[in-house]
Structures are given as structure tokens and as C-alpha cells.
Chain A
Amino acid sequence: MGIKIQDLTVTFRNKVTALNHADLEIPKGIFGLLGENGAGKTTLMRVLTTVLASTSGTVTIDGILYSEGNFEKIQRKIGYLPQEIDLYPGLTVQECLEYMGDLSGIPRKACQERIRYYLEKTSLSEHRRKKMKQLSGGMKRRVGLVQALLNEPEFLIVDEPTTGLDPEERIRIRNLLVDFSEGRTVLFSTHVVEDLAATCNQLAVMKKGQFLYSGSMKELLEQAEGHVWLCNIKEEGMARELEKRYHVSSKQYTGDGLQMRFISETPPRAECSSCEATLEDAYIYIANKEP
């Protein structure tokens, strides 16, 4: 059934609207949520985890409406890894997970088994006697992921889990999310395009509290097709001129001069050729498209 968001608006007391009449359907599997910083991703996640109440609109999860009376039922279905979390620094990994498992209401024996299973899966078994404060950023994230999975949630919500991690750890976290998406819905929020390209088939793009796109990765790439241009520019002045007029998704010095990728509806006024769009190109195209 998944998550259904209809006309959702969240306005804070200081009159800032973080979500503005947003509509979205999140099916089973791993679903990416892409958007710049401040787009409203975290606010959406906080609404989905019942931390924040919406100003208007409706949200349902597996057909259950988000309302105070249903919160307990909804909370049992969700596992959440917030953007920043400082898990009990004085406890060992094992103690920390046992405590959080106990808080979740998981029977002791089942909890022990799940901890063993997930620590194995996340390659943390050998670190289980280490204190949380002794772990690296990536390891802490993995423990955070394990705590989110302990109650076997149907919906796993992870908010920018790869931020600040080295490439190896990022790949590890991404792969874990794909593994854990089997049979459940994983909502994976990030502003790192590569992370989504490597994990998701379905995604939504957010900007200023609204969804600019929601659908398959393939369709998003198709939308940007024909709008990505690769140019070889020899003069610096011309490069600077083009930079002012078009969105540049990459630039690189080559032996011949400067190779630049532009996102534009029409070909830039330079020697260029159309090229295949990457997810990053497609994101820039969608995010900056004229309404």
C-alpha cells in the first residue's frame, strides 16, 4: 500500500512554509527523495515519523490516516534514522542496541537474535563491545541503521545517512539500504545525487517545499534528454560568458581547453553536441526548469 501524501502543508510558527501543498505516493521498495538543503525533505520525514504535525493535508501509511488516535499504530510500523543522532556515547554498541530494543518493546530473546543478525549484516559484530564514542562516523551511522531496523519496521525512513562519510562507508550504507529494502518501503532522503543513482528506481525531487518530479529514474532521465550539451571551449572569456547564461553541471580542463556540460533547453552558442543525461544533469534540469 505504501505512503500517500495529499495536499500536505507545514507552516511553522515563524510563518515559514516548509511544505507547500505537496502530493506524493511512495510505493514499496527503495524510494529516493532528492532536493537541495532546505527543500523540505527533513520536514517531510518529521511529519512521516509523527514528530511534526502538518498544518493541512492528509497522509496515510498502509491506508492508516495520520491522526493522533492512530499514531501508536503508525509508530509501530516505522523505523527512523534521523540526519544527526548521538547514540548513548557511554554505552557499548551491544548495550545501546539492547536498550533501544527494550524501549521498542521487543522481547529480550528476539532482540538479542536481531541484534546479532543485523550486526553481522552491517559488519559490526567485531565492534559490539566498543563504546559508541569510540566508533567512526560511518560505524555510528550503521549502528543507527540497526536501531531503526530492530523492530522489523515495514517503513524505514532514513534522512541523509551518507552525509559526511568517506566513499567506502557511503557505498556500504547504500548497499545496506538496498539489502534492507527487500519486502519493505525505504524512504531515502539525500542531496547527494550519486547515492540515489546507485540505489533507487523511484524518486521524487523537492524544491522549496514542493515536488517538482515524482516517478521513475528512467523517466526523469528521459525528461532531461536533449537538454544536456557538451562543449569544448578554448577561451576563458567565452567560458565565463556561457557560465552566466546557462546552468553548468560540470567543467573540466583538457588538453584542448575547457570541456563544459551545460543544461539548457536550447544549444548554447558555442561548438557543442548533445549528450546523454546523468541523474545529476536531470536533477539540475528539473530543479531549474521554467514552470
Chain B
Amino acid sequence: MLTRFRNRFAALYRNLAHKDQVDRDLDTELRAFEQLLIDEKLTGIPALDAGQARRAARIEIDATIEQIKEQVREVRMGFSLDSVARDVRISARTLRKQAGFSLTVLGVLALGIAGATAIFSMFNSLYLRPLPFPEAEHLVNLDEKAPQWNLERVAVAYPDFVAWREHNRSFSAIAVFRGTGAQISSDTGAEQVPAARATFDLLDVLKVQPAVGRWFHADEDKPNGPKLVVVSHQMWQRRFGGPAAISGQTLRIASETFQVIGVMPPGFDFPSRAEVWTALGMSAGDSTGWGLNGVARLRPGISMDKALEDLLRVHKGMIPTRKVNEITSPTIYPLREWYVGQFLPASRALLIAVTLVLLIACANIAGVMLARGSSRIREVSLMAALGASRTRIIRQLLTESLLLGVAGGVLGTLIGRSGLRLLLGLMPQNQVPGWVRFDLDWRFLMFCLAVSMGSAMLFGLWPAWSASRADLRSALHEGGARASGSAARRRSLKILITAEVALATVLLAASALLTQAFRKVEQINPGFRADNVLTYSVGLPNQKYPKPEQKLAFIEELIRKQRELPGVRFAAAVSATPLGGHWGNFYEVEGAPQKRAGDPDPVILKRVVTPDYLEAMGMTLRSGRTFNAFDGRKEGTEAVVVNETFARQFWPGQNPIGKRIRHRGGKIWWPVVGMIADVKDYGLDQESRPSVYFPLAQEPLGGLSVVVRTAARQDLAPFTNTAREVLKRLDPDIALARPVTMEQRLADSMWIRRTYSFLVAAFAVLALVLVGSGLFGVISYTVGQRRREIAIRMALGASQRVILRNVLQEAFLLAGIGLVLGVAAGAGLARISQSLRFDSPLFGVDPRDPATYAAAAAVLLAVAVSASLAPAIRASYTSPSSALRLE
């Protein structure tokens, strides 16, 4: 079958693509024929001379060579195109005649394909499409880890990077950058845009060049270097109106004037959404800690393992002059995994779910087609009697399936695309990098084509094969069809429906488990009260506010103004809100034994806050007190607040209040004045770290989030506008950045989990509907086939109840077998999911939880019973006398 199709298309291709060659061959062949004929005449019994032989041959050929060639050409082309076109034409006519059947199949198929295409499109965009950089497969992300500090991602320290860059043998280029925001001033006020500070070699790594102008040179990337800036194409258009020349153009960033030296090409997006790039300008001796992202391009032929070995050698070689490298180690991730790796478990789960739905849909359609096959036996028999070969019949029937497959595929793809668009519209910003594109590409189209064709084969092949096998002679006799093929057909139908039930069981159980996990996570106490809390960020430019007192004074003034606004209960500032990022440090506890090298030394989360912060965020004070306005204001008034995890870790079973801590190696001891309940700073499903809160007066900072708790619910937009006015009056160069409510932040942190739990549940419901309709179809069909038997039984005295029970029993049996298979498959999948480290999506919910499977089974049985109730009742009303009428 398949080889035949392949031959057909190969011939068609040959005829179309190598037309000249085919033509030349044909010419040679015909000339040879003529020559052979002449030879024959020359050596024939009445041997002719050359001229006579030629004439005789021409008479026998009876046409010119060109005429014959034309005929052959017609045949060749026509044969290839014609037979395909004829099959399609006949099939389309058949399908149109049976609109009900066709629409049912189309609907079921479109739903199955819609899910598959939507999820595949997402998967494709995240994981299959090449990154938008030349030879992106060589790009890697560099980072550092420190297991001893309980940190998988420390970020890169500049001195480490400098050594890596100088001594590595694995990378053709290596760079670091820091994603930040740039406050751009203009006449209308300051605006914060995403920005990056990068080393001069970033573009060497990415192999991209500015569209206009240039990037930084090495000697411009140093402390106090020239104030130069490269802008995005978009920024260039928006801000400068896109003039051709950039000389003399400037940008005011954080109260300083930068000269624009380059414009990146449109679509360049690295780091994600950055609009402005400035030189990192750090010195090799900089020891401010770890805060950089590394990106590098592997030399051709160098594996990631090799490169990591190389980096480790360099990194650990620094230990004599940089002791901390005993603890930290470099890490390498593929660029894609680094940026979108967090979606992988969810994407896999969804791909499996849509595959199951599609399989159920195909089984469903195969069932409908099988059942319909019985009504087509006569038609098929007629085709066979008229001389159609078996392959010809199968081909005709398969063409119908393919037509349905293509139509269902197109419809499903359209539905899937709008579904995906809906989903992406609901996606919070910054969940995926800006360079991830969700538009169509050839991979997606190939997938849609493959899925449509594959489904058509899947649901079409078996019914076509079974129909072509029908016993022709008996089929032509009136009523004979039922006697012969129907038992086998009923068996096939039962196998299909059992498989559907099994697949649906797996999907339903998986959905129930994920939903449970979601509920479990959702119910976790975040440690703060998210309702009625609005936040935004501000950054004070160092140039304008160089002294700590100036920073403190500005923030305190801003908080006071914010507090005075109507409806505000508390206003405060914090270095970073919960779910707003990690900032770690190390502290030592008074009287604690000296740590030995290699002891676990988990990093401690540090937050700097103004006095009302704990109240504004709605955190819970466990003992002691919160900060007051005097804490940390001058020497002798230092104070810190710790969380429960901190207290438990350092002073197990003791009261932390009054104990003292200090910077590791520091001089001043700070007394602990309060202990708060743990806050889920890294996400509801993540562990809390030991945390310390400092008063802002003790450690003034210039980059903070303002946190405002209102008495009643307030909308973000009007609040932000008011806050922007307040800020502008204090300093027009400072932008209000990232306004967001805490509720939104919390919801965003749950987005992936919520979305895939919901989607799997939606697919499970779809599966249930499909199984229900499938069962309804199968039971209706078998009841229809057994009408005569039922009538006879009733005539012999069987009651309606017996018949009803009988039919329901059959449905129960089918569903039961499917359920057992499904539960077994589910248990098998559970083992696989555990080995695939699927524990994070399940969040401690046992993938073999018996109650969940029992519930899934109950739901499926309920569906089975309700689906078969109508045909069962109909069967029980069969009139006994109809036994006489039916043939």
C-alpha cells in the first residue's frame, strides 16, 4: 500500500521535475523502436533495400514519433494526477452525502487536533525553534553554584569571570551582563525601561552586530569609562524618530548624559526585553559579590562537559588568591534550558495529555467508521463485484479518511491557534523571554500535517481493512451482511471502547493528582497577607544621591508622602518584596562554635525595610517587636528581626530575642528584637530560607520597593498615577517602575502550576465527553444489531428489567475492563513520573494515591452508565412482535 503511494509520488515527481530527461529518454526509445523495425525489414524474408525498409517501417508505425510521444506524455501525467484526483472526488461526494456522519467525525477530530496543535505550538516555540542567534546551538549560560551555601544558582562574580575569560580554552567568546532598569529622563518625566550593563564582548558571543553605529570597545568597558549607550531599534524609533545618523544623539539616564553610539537591529532581544545597553565598567579587583549572568559561545567540537572541566580548572586554580572559590564552582547550562527550562515538566505533561486525547478521539472515530462500515458493506461488495481490487477499495476508503483528516486538521489547527492565543494572552509578563516567538513556522505546519494524516491513518486503516475483507457473496444477499461480519465488528468496537476507557482513566487520574497538588500549594500560607497591598519600585541614581543619609532622607520623605494619601493604612519600603528576588549574605551568631571548612553554611536571605514594613506586608510577628523609627538610627540602636527558620537553625529550642548576630567577620553585634513567621519568599511551593530583616536607617539603600497597604481594595492604575505624581514632585528624574499588587505577584508565581493543572483537567473533561459519546455509539450499535435477538427474548418472556440490566451489564463490563487496564497503566506511569523527577509538579501528592484512582474510576463508571442508559431503555421497549417483522 505505502510503497505504491510512494511509487506514485516518485513517478509524479520524476515527470514534473525531470521533464526534459523523461522526454529525451522517450525520444531515444521510440527512435530505437523505429530502427529495430527497419533492421527487421532489411533482414526479412523479402529483404528490402534501405529506402523501402524505411518506408515500410513508417507505414507500420502509422503515426509520427512526435504524435506517439504526445500520447505517452498524456498517459504518464494523467495517470499520476488522475487516480489521486478521482479518489478525492469520489470520497468528497460520499462524505457530502453523509453529512451527519462527516460532521460528527470532523467535530471529534477537530477537538482532538486542536489540543494537540495548541500544546505542540507552545512546545515548539519554547524548545524546538532555534534561538534567534547565529549558530545558537553553541551558546551556553554560565553561572556558579555553592552547595555548601544551599544555593544552586549563585550568579557570577566579576573576578571569576575575568579569570575564566583569560584562561579558558573552550570558548570562542565569553561575556557577562547584568539586567537592570534604566531611568530615562525626558521633558515629560522619567521612564524606566529594561536595560542591561554588559561587558564589551557580549556581541562577540551572540555574533550580532549593531545595525547602526557600533558597540563598546574593550577600553571603554572600565570603571568610570566614557558614558556611552547602545539602544534597541524600537527605542531608536520611539525616542529619536529613527534618523539615519546617530552622531550627537544623547540619552539622559539616571541624571547623567550618555552618548548614543549604536542601534541594535530590529528583533534583537538579549537579555530579554532590554532596550538600552551600557558598558558594565567593572574592575577585575571588584569584590562586591555575585550578581552577573554569564553567556559564552563554545568552540566548535567542544562539549559542555569538556568546557565545564576547563572552567573548573581555571576556577579552582584561583583558590590561592581567592579562597571563596573553594566553595563556589562554575556551572554550564544550555542557553535554552536556563531561560525556559522551568516549563519543561509542565510541557511534557501537557504533551502526554493531548496525545491521550487525540488517541481517544481517533479510537472514537474508528468506532464510528467501523459501525458505519456495516451499512457500507453492500456498496463495497458492489465495487468488488465490478472488478475493483482489494487495494483499490482500501485506497478509496482511506482517501475518505484522509479527506476527513485534512478537514479536521485544518479546523482543529484553527481552534488550537485561537486557544493558544487565549492562553498566551493570560500569561503574565516576563514569564518567558521576549525572544520566544509563538507565531507559525514550518515545524508547526509539518506537525499539523503529520497529526492530521497520522490520525486519518490511525482511525481509517482498520475500518477500511475490515470493510474490504467482508465476504462479498454473502454481502450481496439480502441481510447476509449482518450474519457474517457483525460479530467480528462488534468485537473490534469493544476493543476500541475499552482502550478509550483505559486512556481516559489515565488522563482523569493524572488530572485529579495535579489538581490536588495545585490545591495543596494554593492553601499554603505565604507568610504575608496579599490583599490590598500595592507595590512599585524606585531607584535613586548614585550620582545624585551619593551619601547614605541622602538616600534615607529621600525614601523616608517618599514613604511619608505616600502614607498621607487617602485610604492608606501603612506605607513602607523594602529591598525586595516576597517573590521579588533573592539577596543573600552570611552572618555569624554570638557564641556559636567556629564552623569548620566544608560544614553546610546556608546563605541567609537579607531584607532591608522601613519601620512599618512588617505591618504593611501583613507579616506575622511571633515574638518580640517590629522595628520602630529609632532602630539603627545611630550607634547603639542597631536592631534586627529574624524569621523562625533562622531562629530554629541557630538557636534551636531557645528564645531568639536578645541574642546577637553580626556580619561574618564584622565588628558590631546587632541584637535580635523580634521574630516573624516564615515568608514564602521564593514561591509557595518552595522552602523558606533563614532570613534577617534590617532597618533601612542601619543600611540605607537606593533601590527599593515601596509597599502600601490600603484600608479597602484599590485599583492599581489610579494608585500608580497618584504615586507617580508624588514621586515626580520629589524628583522628576526618578521613574516609578514595575507597579504590581501583591495578589498579582502571588497569582503570577502560581501561573505555570495553575495553567497546566487547568489544561490537564480540561483535556480530561474532553476525554470523558469523547468516551461517553463513544460508549453511547457502541452500545446503541450493538443494541441495534441485537434487536431481533432482544425481541425474541422478550417474546419468550424476558422482562424489560432483564433487558435493561443486560445492556447496562455490557456497558459496565466494557468500562470495567478499560478501568482495570487504565489503573494498571496509571500505576506504571506513576513509576515513570517518579523516575523523571516529576515530584515538583505533584508537590508531594502520591502518584499512586488509591483514593484518586477510585474517584476517577467512579466518575468513569458514572459516565459509562449514563451513556448507555438511553440505548438500554430503548432496547427494553423493543416490542416482542417486532421479532416477526425483522426479516
A and B bind: no
